[in-house]
Amino acid sequence: MTTYRIASVPADGIGPEVIAAGLQALEVLAKRDGGFSFEVTEFDWSSERYKKTGALMPEDGTEQLKAFDAIFFGAVGAPDVPDHVTLWGLRLPICQGFDQYANVRPTKILPGIASTLAGVGPGELDWVIVRENSEGEYAGMGGRAHRGLPEEVGTEVAVFTRTGVSRIMRYAFKLAQSRPRKLLTVVTKSNAQRHGMVMWDEIAEEVSRDFPDVAWDKMLVDAMTVRMVKKPASLDTIVATNLHADILSDLAGALAGSLGVAPTANIDPERRYPSMFEPIHGSAFDITGKGIANPVATFWTASQMLDHLGEPKAARRLMRAVEKVCADGILTPDVGGTANTAEVTDAVCEAIRGDNI
Ligand code: IPM
Ligand code: MG
């Protein structure tokens, strides 16, 4: 029996609601599959903690997480705390401190959920966006001078390193190679940005030589938004910078029906540190406490976590259960249903227990 040590950080908004749902499904899976179990430790790191103590997490926060096999993260952000404070106070120190440089965001149209694109059905939109997660526009480089004066200046410098770009490119090519279509699209803005972005293109070219069986092409990020909307079936695996992929993955989630189903995995591919799994949607204060948050994104990211932990059978079973429940029309309001979080969660747990799943 393998016991996985999971650090749960539900944090803000609907985070606690969806993480509770995710843990419930993981428990049922462990019982159903046997062979593994979870030991979950919950951390109360959040905007609430910030308001009480001045910090979202303790100073040695990442140190405390080191011993875990994975981190299951809800959402961070509060209406009365500036977003850059919450982001840099919790999520980014974990992603960057643990060098979780590959952010993996699968999107597909689940059965029973309508794409926002007319006439596009399941199978015609099945992507994985690989987001560079350690540097680029999120490197935190820059500053402010002449504060408060008319000549005030603010700089925000994107940092691209050969190491950073090569490793994410290699990760993306490998992932593309493992998928049936073996198709990768490299996104940049190398017409207007002629330094770091041109280096991206060059490194893509270099890395591609080690993956002769992967067909790949390049897109400028603006044209990419058009292609995602107009020719979704022409895409499969996508790699882009931290900011470009942030934006494209919101678009991807919306095209697949709702951000409420979109998962993300912050992976340290070298497994030096725990990786972190979270729904993309964020804290969603407009629906917090109403019990109607869509738990599907959290189930999907729990499935990514199981894959990463080395439990691919359970990972697939969880996704099959989610797909069955969606196909049965047990959906939350964001995807056109009338069910609440608990009803969707109970249905998924019931499906996991079933014989034919
Ligand atoms: C995401 C989110 C975050 C990001 C926010 C919360 C800062 O939008 O995970 O995509 O931009 O990285
Ligand atoms: Mg985003």
Contact by Cβ (8 Å): 160, 136: yes
pLDDT at position 123: 87
Ligand 1, CB cutoff 6 Å, lining residues:
77, 87, 246, 280, 282
Ligand 1: which residue has its CA nearest to atom 4?
A: 246
**What confidence score (pLDDT) does residue 355 get?**
83
3-state DSSP call for residue 96?
helix
Substitution candidate for ligand 1 out of 91, 92, 104 with most atoms within 8 A of CB: 91
Taking the alpha carbons at both ends of the chain, their separation in whole angstroms is: 22
The superfamily (CATH) of domain 1-100+266-357 is: Isopropylmalate Dehydrogenase (3.40.718.10)
Gyration radius from the chain CA atoms: 20
In the reported structure, the alpha carbon of residue 31 is separated from the centroid of ligand 1 by a whole-number distance in angstroms of 33
Residues in the chain: 357
CATH for 115-256, among 3.40.718.10, 1.10.287.3510, 3.30.70.260, 1.10.3720.10? Answer: 3.40.718.10
Q: Which residues pair with 156 in a beta bridge?
A: 142
- Confirm whether 1-100+266-357 and 115-256 share one CATH topology: yes
**Strands, E, within 161-230: which ranges?**
183-188, 215-220
- Comparing CA positions, the residue from 31, 72, 98 lying closest to residue 301 is 72
Ligand 2 (ion): residues with CB under 5 Å are 246
Cβ-contact 228, 235 below 8 angstroms: yes
Ligand 1 atom nearest residue 87's Cα: 7
pLDDT score of 261: 94
What are the two backbone dihedrals, phi and then psi, of residue 349, each rounded to the nearest 5 degrees? -65, -40
Q: Where are the domains of the chain?
A: 1-100+266-357, 115-256
- pTM of the entire structure? 0.95
User: pLDDT tens digits for the chain (357 residues)?
Assistant: 999 999 999 999 999 999 999 999 999 999 999 899 999 999 999 999 999 999 999 999 999 999 999 999 999 999 999 999 999 999 999 999 999 999 999 999 999 999 999 989 888 999 999 999 999 999 999 999 999 999 999 999 999 999 999 999 999 999 999 999 999 999 999 999 999 999 999 999 999 999 999 999 999 999 999 999 999 999 999 999 999 999 999 999 999 998 899 999 999 999 999 999 999 999 999 999 999 999 999 999 999 999 999 999 999 999 999 999 999 999 999 999 999 999 999 999 999 999 888
Map tokens 């995710």 to a residue.
22
Q: Which atom of ligand 1 is nearest to the CA of 250?
A: 10
